[in-house]
Amino acid sequence: MSQVLQRTWARFVARVDGPLLLLTLALMATGLATVHSATADSSSRLLAQALNMSIGLTAMWMVAQLPPQKLMRFGVPLYLAGVVLLILVFFFGIRVNGARRWLSLGFTRIQPAEVLKIAVPLMLAWYFHKHEAALKARHYAVACLLLLLPFALIAKQPDLGTAILVGAAGFYVIFFAGLPWKVIIGLLVAGAAAAPFAWTMLHDYQRKRILTLIDPSSDPLGAGYHIIQSTIAIGSGGSFGKGWLEGTQTHLEFIPERHTDFIFAVYAEERGLLGNAVLLLLYLLLIGRGLMIAANASTLFARVLAGSITLSLFTYVFVNVGMVSGILPVVGVPLPYMSYGGTALVTLSVGIGILMSIQTHRMLVRP
Amino acid sequence: MLARQSQLVAPDRELERFRFRVSLAGFAVFAAFVVLATRLFHLQVVQHDYYSTRAEDNRISLVPIVPNRGVIVDRHGTVLARNYSAFTLEITPSRVDDLDATIEGLGKLIEILPKDRKRFRRLLEESKTFESLPIRSRLSEEEVARFAANRYLFPGVEVKARLFRHYPEGSVGAHAIGYISRINKRDLEIIEDNEQTNNYKGTDHIGKSGVEQKYEFQLHGETGYEQVEIDAGGRAVRSLSRSAPVQGNNLTLTLDIKLQEMAEKAFGDRRGALVAIEPATGGILALVSVPTFDPNLFIDGIRSDDWDQLNNSPDKPLLNRALNGAYPPGSTFKPFMALAALETGKRTPGQAIADPGVFNFGGHQFRDDKKGGHGMVDMHKSIVVSCDTYYYVLANDMGIDAIARFMGQLGFGQRTGVDIEGESPGVLPSPEWKKRRFRRPEQQKWFAGETISIGIGQGYNSYTPIQLAQATATIANNGIMYRPHLVKYITDSRTGEKTMIEPEPLRVLPWKRQNVEVIKRALVGVNISGTSARAFAGAGYTSAGKTGTAQVFSLKGAEYKESRVKKELRDHALFIAYAPAEQPKIAVAVLVENGGFGAQSAAPIARMVFDYYLLGKLPKGAAKEDDVEGD
């Protein structure tokens, strides 16, 4: 009987990567505690987030069971479905606060851009894998086009945060697939040259956010308010923080969006620099583990996908913490496993699940 | 096929290249985390103190606690200005989305009249951004309860218990006491100039006139503060500490409000002014300017119909005639002229002239009041019978410069420095004054003929009633001149210590005692056998006085007949007096606008004031006009 149990358990955990799981659980625990502090007035958020996390963990476990070859098959359909939905959003999306991001299905609303965070790297990784034998310049060009289409559709909604994440995920795949350095450098130069042009393409509110970053006090009650209040929260936290549930900026509601995009300010105020060091270390270890998995992956598909997912995770963290601490402009990017919200949690967990799958299936697939 | 072969060897190189890029990515990630950590170190360690302060500033708000304004009482302790607490319904416009709908909704619970709305609109235009503004004041208990039950429907609307100023005597003495009203932009500048900005946080009202204005910073007190923790919405979460406010200092006036009230009543429905001074101190016993107004109307922003009524009335109730009205003194000027003549040696008391009833000068006839003249007139008689010709000649003999010098020393044509605002200097005519006053050279020239009418208090002469009262008190006081003042002492609200407003001798005029006595004897004669004898018949005390009539309208040559002249053009009646004659306790100057002869309408008012002040006799109703002619 115990043998049966043991075997079942062994099968249950066979595709789970211990370090990834432990790091994820540690981050989730920290996230839950912080969400509780940020929403001390209502416990319903805390329960909902716990539920989101269990859904995330389930999704992670399920994805981890699928071998990379099977994952590869999802690439094209997911990508196509995602792009079609984005086009539908473009025409029929629901406008909320001036942005067209949601699609109504009658009984619920979905945000198709979220799917692309996984679909784009899957698709591109599949594409490069398919042409692995003879990668030529045109393949990179096609990959770029495959990336640009959803990127443009999302940026147009507008949802700069998601567009950056999708764009980054796609770019990481292309980068790991071996995009020549001269092209990368060329792109950087071209990008710098195009910056003034891009500036004119930005929406007014986006431009304002960048300007406020340079001088938040120019608009202390408007666009600068978020940055001013979150830097006050972080700075006043000091070395050791004000203590859990003791943050005045948090509990007197000075921090806007404190349980979602700005939750890092809540954490930093209450846990101080020490807590921040622990949190950053957790992320660093998670990313390190991801890069290790990428380095050891057995196929090109697995390698570039693992690399892209890991660097995407880094992008979340860097953009979010950079924005909340006032060195990057305000864009809607959540902090992985900390910010309240189910969608991002599931997307992230699927990503970790893919990493687990790649790690635990690597011996089965020989080149 | 060959190409494929060559590609097949590649995987190892591919993998190497990939791993290189992964390490590169790892390095980039690490570098980016170092950037984040540096930023966090900068915020949380280097700038920690700065951000801690900002967080505290965010969370802690100082809520001012407005002090009770000092109370004003008269010389006998009767309360003239006090505070009471009442409920007001207030709206903070910045916290209300739809102001009209909110007011509409409130109107269903609590009576809000159109005039309340109008006043609210006006306050809204003048207000600082975040303050709450009253829409209704003096709510009844029932109204408060009704609002409290529905409070949740009206965010940004509150019932507040506020202190209100109240003037129990109403319109009596309003020009002296003044009133407070809501702070406007000009007041804010004054507050700033006096470095009182912090002390006025939370204060809505400020003294606008009278003693309330002049002693504002004594009456206001020190604002207390409560430290409260607030949330981002500005709502107070809890109180952290509190420093109590210090009540304003109380003022005790020299004013006798009963005397004031009696004097105001004595005018009946006539316009005019009266200033009663205690000669030995300069303390003002009564400062009458009628018609007067109810200062209670102004406190919460005067309603526009009240304002229109006060402001557009031809009787100008808001004008403080006692300080700001300037009138020719008429014959009340004569005793001062006579004293000037004695002091400058131009006349001796016994020197007499024969009065033919007219004085011819430069082809112009200056007429005496009495047809055919007064016969032989010496100084005493000139005052008692108010002989014009005596003063025509005297003025001509003295010359304008000597007159102006002497009268200037007596305070004519200068502000007395009384402790309330709005005093007019009046006009002390002189060649220099004329040069300043007029622009065209032909107007600037002083004509000798102009000096002659100056002698009987006409011409360019123009003085305020308070100047006249001060000069009278100075004569009564044998040349010691005090600054008239309304506040007797200030009581410190903390220590109870009284700060006396010291009688302040402005100057001591070096008059010869026997000269002053000549004038005083003559003034006593006026009340015994002269122009005001009738008004003072049977008084239980000795008194000294002089009547006067100031021409409003010059009837070139024709005889002045009251009935023939429209009321607004009738002469102003004046009277100066003091009593008791030996040891003066009270000196007055009375002016009745368009009152005709001074003896007829002004002197009886002074008699009533003296009767009350010296004997405690209260008259019935207004002073009757004596049927006397002549000034």
Per-residue model confidence as pLDDT tens digits over B68-106: 999 999 999 999 999 988 888 888 887 787 888 888 888
Catalytic residue among B209, B331, B386, B453: B331
The distance from CA A360 to its chain's CA centroid, rounded to whole angstroms, is 23
Give the nearest partner residue to B59 out of A248, A307, A326, using CB atoms: A248
Cβ atoms of B130 and B94 closer than 8 Å? yes
- Asked if residue A85 lies in contact with residue A112, where contact means CB atoms within 8 angstroms, the answer is yes
- Across the range B254-266, mean pLDDT stands at 95
**CB crowding A229-262: b at 16 or more within 10 Å, else e:** bbbbbbbbbbeebbeeeebbbbbbebbebbbbbb
Indicate whether B629 pLDDT > 60: no
Mean pLDDT value across residues B301-314: 84
For residue A298, the chain B residue with the least C-alpha distance is: B15
CA distance, residue B96 to nearest chain A CA (Å): 18
Q: What are phi and psi of B321, to 5 degrees?
A: -65, -30
DSSP secondary structure string for all residues of A51-101:
HHHHHHHHHHHHHHHS-HHHHHHHHHHHHHHHHHHHHHHHHHPEEETTEEE
* pLDDT tens by residue, B179-207: 998 888 889 899 999 888 888 888 888 99
Lowest model confidence (mean pLDDT) among A12-16, A23-27, A246-250, B235-239 = B235-239
Residue B568: pLDDT over 80: no
Nearest Cβ partner for B40 among A234, A236, A300: A234
pLDDT at A87: 93
Q: Note the pLDDT of residue B10.
A: 58
The values of phi and psi at residue B270, to 5°, are -85, 155
Distance from CA of A231 to the nearest CA of B (A): 7
Contacts of A285 in chain B (CB under 8 A): none
Q: How many CB pairs under 8 A join A and B?
A: 133
- Would residue B196 count as lying in a domain? yes
Residues of chain A neighbouring B228 (CB-CB closer than 8 A) = none
The answer to whether the CB atoms of B48 and A239 lie below 8 A apart is yes
Question: What chain A residue is nearest to B3 in terms of C-alpha separation?
Answer: A134
For A206-262, the DSSP string reads: HHHHHHHHH-GGGSTTTTHHHHHHHHHHHHHHTTT-S-TT--HHHHTT-STTTTTTT
- pLDDT score at B595: 82
What span, in angstroms and rounded, lies between the C-alpha atoms of A255 and B357?
A: 95
Reference A146, options A161, A132, A166; nearest CA is: A166
Beta carbons of A134 and B4 less than 8 Å apart: yes
Predicted local confidence at residue B195, as pLDDT: 87
How many residues in total does chain A contain?
367
Whether residue B479 is predicted with pLDDT greater than 60 in this model: the reply is: yes
CATH code for position B143: 3.90.1310.10
- Is B151 a member of any domain? yes
Q: Is B55–A233 a contact, with Cβ atoms under 8 angstroms apart? A: yes
Give the DSSP letter of residue B65.
E
pLDDT of A92 higher than 50: yes
Nearest residue to A351 (alpha-carbon basis) of A317, A305, A293, A316: A305
Q: How far is A234 from chain B (nearest CA, A)?
A: 6
For the segment A144-172, the average pLDDT, to the nearest whole number, is 92
Tokens of B285: 């016993």
- What local confidence, expressed as pLDDT, does residue B328 receive? 93
The pLDDT value recorded for residue B558 is 45
Q: Find how far residue B372's CA is from the centre of its chain.
A: 47
Q: What burial class does residue B105 get, using C-beta atoms within 10 Å of its C-beta: 0-12 exposed, 13-18 middle, 19+ buried?
A: middle
| The predicted structure's pLDDT at residue B120 | 85
Q: How many CA atoms lie within 13 A of B305 on its CB side?
A: 4
The answer to whether the beta carbons of residues A60 and A46 sit under 8 Å apart is no
Least confident range of A321-325, B110-114, B129-133, B586-590: B129-133
Q: For residue B512, give the 3-state DSSP assignment.
A: coil
B107, part of any domain: yes
**Is the pLDDT assigned to residue B539 strictly greater than 80?**
yes
The number of beta carbons lying within 10 Å of the beta carbon of residue B220 is: 26
Q: Give the per-residue SS3 of B552-582.
A: CCCCCCCCCCHHHCCHHHCCEEEEEEEECCC
The minimal CB distance from A235 to the residues B14, B18, B48 is found for B48
Confidence of residue B11 (pLDDT cuts 50, 70, 90): low
Q: Is the pLDDT of residue B3 over 50?
A: no
DSSP string, B477-488: TTTEEE--BSEE
Q: Spell out which residues of chain A touch residue B32, defining contact as CB-CB under 8 Å.
A: 314, 318
The string over A281-317, giving b where at least 16 C-beta atoms fall within 10 Å of a residue's C-beta and e elsewhere, is ebbbbbbbbbbbbbbebbbbbbbbbbbbbbbbbbbbb
| A134, A236, A280: residue with CB nearest B55 | A236
Interface mutation target, options A232, A253, A255, chain B, most CBs of B under 10 Å: A232
Mean pLDDT of B164-170: 93
The pLDDT assigned to B628 comes to 59
Q: Is the peptide bond before B295 cis (omega within 30 degrees of 0)?
A: no
- A276 to chain B: which residues are within 8 Å by CB? 37, 40, 44
Task: Give ipTM to 2 decimals.
Answer: 0.94
Of B308, B276, B309, B272, residue with least CA distance to B291: B272
Which residues, 6 or more positions from B122, have their beta carbon under 8 angstroms from its beta carbon?
B301
Please tell me whether the peptide bond between B291 and the residue prior to it is cis, using omega within 30 degrees of 0: yes
CA B276 from centroid of its chain's CA atoms: 17
Element (H, E) at A351: helix A342-360
**So what's the pLDDT on residue B129?**
53
pLDDT at A223: 61
Count of the separate structural domains present in chain B: 1
Q: What is the mean pLDDT of residues A197-205?
A: 80
Nearest to A318 among B26, B36, B43 (CB): B36
Q: Do A178 and B17 touch (CB under 8 A)?
A: yes
Q: Identify the pLDDT of residue B557.
A: 42
- Comparing CA positions, the residue from B154, B157, B156 lying closest to residue B95 is B156
What are the b/e assignments for A85-124, b being 16+ CB within 10 Å? bbeebeeebeeeeebbbbbeeeeeeebbbbbbbbbbbbbb
What pLDDT was estimated at residue A219? 64
Active-site annotation holds for B23: no
Which of B1, B5, B16, B40 to mutate to probe the A interface, most A CBs <10 Å? B40
Q: Which of A328-342, B29-43, B234-248, B407-421 is predicted with the least confidence, judged by mean pLDDT?
A: B234-248
**CA dist., res. A306 & res. B191, Å (int):** 70
Chain B nearest-CA residue for A317: B33
* pLDDT higher at B611 or B504: B611
Which residue stretches of B42-179 are H helix? Answer: 48-59, 99-109, 114-126, 141-149, 174-177
| Coil/strand/helix, residue B423 | coil
pLDDT for B111 beyond 80? yes
pLDDT band at A305 (very low <50, low <70, confident <90, very high): very high
pLDDT score recorded for residue B547:
93
Q: Which residues of B are less than 8 Å from A327 in CB distance?
A: 35, 39
Which residue out of A136, A252, A325, A328 would a mutagenesis test of the B interface target, given it has the greatest number of B Cβ atoms within 10 Å?
A252
* Cβ contacts of A235 on chain B, cutoff 8 Å: 43-44, 47-48, 50-52, 54-55
pLDDT tens sequence across B357-398:
899 988 888 888 888 889 999 999 999 999 999 999 999 999
What is the percentage of chain B residues whose pLDDT exceeds 90?
A: 56
| Residue B119 forms part of a structural domain | yes
Q: Tens of pLDDT along B225-239?
A: 888 888 877 777 788
Which residues are within 8 A (CB) of B118 and not within 5 positions of it... i.e. 6 or more apart? B303, B304
Q: Is residue B521 part of a domain?
A: no
Question: Is residue A4 over pLDDT 70?
Answer: yes
CA–CA dist B204, B225 (Å, integer): 16
Give domain status of residue B606, yes or no. Answer: no
What does pLDDT average to over chain B? 88
Q: Give me the pLDDT at residue B50, please.
A: 94
Cβ B44–A291 below 8 Å, yes or no? no
Query: What mean pLDDT comes out for the span B146-159?
Result: 85
pLDDT of residue A211: 76
Distance CA A356, CA A336 (A): 17
Q: Do B231 and A175 touch (CB under 8 A)?
A: no
Summarize chain A as % helix, strand, coil (round to 5). Answer: 75, 5, 25
Residue B66 falls within a domain, yes or no? yes
| Burial (CB count within 10 angstroms: exposed 0-12, middle 13-18, buried 19+), residue B64 | middle
Measured in angstroms, the CA of B310 and the nearest CA of chain A are apart by 45
What is the distance in angstroms between the Cα of A110 and the nearest Cα belonging to chain B? 32
B252, pLDDT greater than 60: yes
pLDDT value of position B6: 43
Could you say which of A175, A310, A322 has the minimum Cβ distance to residue B36?
A: A322
Q: How confident is the model at residue A222 (pLDDT cuts 50, 70, 90)?
A: low
Instruction: Indicate the pLDDT class of residue B4, thresholds 50, 70 and 90.
Output: very low
B51 to chain A: which residues are within 8 Å by CB?
Answer: 231-232, 234-236
Rounded to the nearest angstrom, the minimum Cα separation between A341 and chain B is 24
DSSP annotation of B620 reads S
Q: Is the pLDDT of residue B7 over 50?
A: no
What confidence score (pLDDT) does residue A208 get? 77
Nearest-neighbour CA in chain A from B227: distance (Å): 15
pLDDT tens digits, one per residue of B430-458: 999 999 988 888 888 898 889 999 999 99
Nearest to A249 among B19, B45, B58 (CB): B58
* Residues of A whose CB is below 8 A from B231: 252-254
Per-residue pLDDT reduced to its tens digit, A265-276: 999 999 999 999
Q: Which range among A104-113, B85-94, B351-360, B524-533 shows the weakest confidence by mean pLDDT? A: A104-113
Domain that holds residue B123: 62-253
Give the integer Cα–Cα distance in Å for B627 and B604: 11
- As a whole number of angstroms, the distance between CA A301 and CA B459 comes to 113
Residue B405 lies in a domain: no
Q: With bands split at pLDDT 50, 70 and 90, how would you rate the model's confidence at A121?
A: very high
Q: Which residues of chain A does B9 touch, with a Cβ-Cβ cutoff of 8 Å?
A: none
